[in-house]
Amino acid sequence: MINIDDQRFVGTVGFRQNSQSYDGVRLTLGGERRLGFDYAWIGRVNRVFGADHPLGHFESDSHLAEIRSQTGVGTLAVYGLWLDFGNAPGLSSQTLGVRLTGGEGSWSWRAEYARQSDYANQPGDFDLDYLRLEVGRQVGPGQLTGGMEVLGGDGIAGLQTPLATLHKFQGWAMPS
């Protein structure tokens, strides 16, 4: 099982009876220390639909990498996702991004930007942006957070997160 950060791009979809799992190899160095590195190669994605479903798995030659460092204002991470799905080429993409998460006292923040483009056997041609900004504050026993997330599109293609724990991010949306 692989859960990266808040599972926006890669997760296990853990609320279902069938979690999403990955056949591959993963190397993590540094953990929560000042400098960390995470790499995974995925040869197959076992999806939540089960083995009998036509899209029950992705045949994959995908690579995930992240380098993160503790800074004076939070954790800075630079990441890349190179997703190559042989039996679902329309979901293949390359995503390169940077993320800063942190907090001070009762305040927390997050800023993230990524660029996604076609990759491997993807039949489309696209370059799309992802942007997320959040600020939060601890208020008594609860947390109050406000933010915005933009998943770019060009009228033909939209930013894709085929390995994400999507139910965490379904909610209110405003058309542009």
Q: What is the pLDDT of residues 109-126, one digit of tens each?
A: 999 999 999 999 999 999
Q: What is the pLDDT of residue 169?
A: 67
Decide if pLDDT at 84 tops 90.
Answer: yes
Q: What is the pLDDT of residues 124-174, one digit of tens each?
A: 999 999 999 999 999 999 999 999 999 999 999 999 998 888 766 665 555
Q: What is the H or E stretch that residue 27 is in?
A: strand 21-29
Mean pLDDT (whole number) for 77-106: 96
Decide if pLDDT at 105 tops 60.
Answer: yes
Q: What is the pLDDT of residues 14-68, one digit of tens each?
A: 766 778 889 999 999 986 668 999 999 999 998 888 788 888 899 999 999 999 9
Mean pLDDT (whole number) for 80-97: 96
Q: What is the pLDDT of residues 3-14, one digit of tens each?
A: 888 888 888 887
- CA 88 to CA 42: how far, in whole Å? 14
- CA 65 to CA 67: how far, in whole Å? 7
For residue 138, give Cα distances in angstroms to 49, 103, 147: 38, 10, 15
Q: Are 95 and 74 in contact (CB under 8 A)?
A: no
- CA 93 to CA 84: how far, in whole Å? 7
Q: What is the pLDDT of residue 168?
A: 66
